[in-house]
């Protein structure tokens, strides 16, 4: 697999060891910066290596779960690329250049690898962020359950990443309750991705589910892996990338980091 790997807090790790650890997991979460073509190439490289040795299912943050029938038609060869992007509402639900992601989608089509959407409707995120889970009727929750409150390292990560959310909230730090509204919204996505991953595992017995997800939902022991553990699945392996000149991440940031040259 491309790049040089290390385990935060432990040092360099050889490709075969990383691959072996991922193959033993039930879920592999590959973090990304959405606009980085090199990171998407890395995701494809890892997915290809895993698919060569074990059946996989690819789960994508980029698609809401309601579009799963469209993803199935794409994998089955029933749509050309233009039809697929139109029916998948790419410009409305995601909007980043499709060329960044098409190699991943073509890989699924060429290998017959199932694709599933992990996302929920944006309105649900806003509603829970504003008023909490109890403010949303159960019929409008898309089958999701309330998120497990995030651990402090993840709260700190989100605060550092976002500055505490929209300007004007006056959030002084990760412990500040003023961060809760923004974090509640973030946790809806985390819970949705975890719930859809669990459903994909149930629907594809024995397959390894690979989540293609923004790294902000994955690091420091929180996010998707934290919600998966709350749902009874604590076997997720989290991998993210760094540029070659960046300082190493501290222990707890992820299971593995790949330095991209």
Other Cβ atoms less than 10 A from the Cβ of 63: the count is 23
In a domain, 234, yes or no: no
Each residue's pLDDT tens digit, 131-179: 888 899 999 999 999 999 999 999 999 988 877 656 545 676 888 887 8
Considering the domain architecture, whether residues 142 and 101 belong to the same structural domain is answered as no
Considering the domain architecture, whether residues 70 and 97 belong to the same structural domain is answered as yes
Each residue's pLDDT tens digit, 72-114: 999 999 999 999 999 999 999 998 999 999 999 999 999 999 9
CA dist., res. 215 & res. 36, Å (int): 12
Considering the domain architecture, whether residues 139 and 175 belong to the same structural domain is answered as yes
The total domain count for the chain is 3
Given a cut of 70, is residue 120 above it in pLDDT? yes
Considering the domain architecture, whether residues 51 and 71 belong to the same structural domain is answered as no
- CA triple 158-159-160, angle to 5 deg: 90
Q: How sure is the predictor about 42, in pLDDT bands with cuts at 50, 70 and 90?
A: very high
Q: How sure is the predictor about 58, in pLDDT bands with cuts at 50, 70 and 90?
A: very high
Residues 6+ away with beta carbon under 8 Å from 25? 208, 235, 236, 237
Output DSSP code: residue 118: E
Domain boundary among 115, 133, 155: 115
Domain housing 94: 66-115
* 89: alpha, beta or left? (left if phi > 0; alpha if psi -120 to 50): left
pTM: 0.94
**SS3 of the chain: helix, strand, coil, percent, to 5:** 50, 20, 35
In a domain, 213, yes or no: no
Q: Largest Cα–Cα distance of the chain, in whole Å?
A: 52
């Amino acid at each position: 697999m491309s790049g040089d790997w290390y385990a935060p807090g432990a040092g360099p790790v050889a490709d075969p060891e990383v691959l072996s650890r991922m193959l033993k997991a039930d879920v592999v979460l590959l973090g990304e910066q959405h606009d980085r073509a090199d990171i998407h190439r890395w995701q494809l490289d890892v997915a290809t290596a895993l698919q060569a040795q074990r059946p996989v299912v690819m789960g994508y943050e980029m698609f809401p779960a309601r579009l799963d029938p469209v993803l199935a038609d794409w994998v089955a060869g029933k749509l050309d690329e233009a039809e697929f992007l139109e029916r998948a509402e790419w410009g409305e639900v995601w909007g980043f250049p499709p060329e960044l992601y098409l190699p991943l989608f073509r890989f699924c089509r060429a290998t017959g690898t199932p694709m599933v959407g992990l996302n929920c409707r944006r309105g649900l995120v806003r509603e829970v962020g504003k008023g909490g889970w109890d403010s949303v009727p159960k019929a409008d929750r898309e089958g999701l359950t309330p998120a497990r409150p995030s651990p402090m390292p993840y709260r700190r990560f989100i605060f550092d990443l976002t500055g505490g959310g929209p300007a004007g909230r006056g959030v002084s730090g990760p412990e500040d309750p003023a961060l809760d509204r923004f974090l509640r919204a973030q946790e809806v996505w985390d819970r949705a991705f975890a719930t859809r991953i669990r459903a994909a595992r149930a629907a594809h017995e024995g397959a390894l589910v690979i989540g293609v997800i923004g790294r902000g939902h994955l690091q420091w022991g929180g996010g998707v892996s934290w919600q998966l553990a709350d749902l009874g699945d604590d076997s997720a392996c989290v991998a993210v990338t760094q540029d070659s000149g960046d300082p190493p991440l501290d222990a707890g940031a992820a299971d593995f980091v790949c330095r991209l040259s």
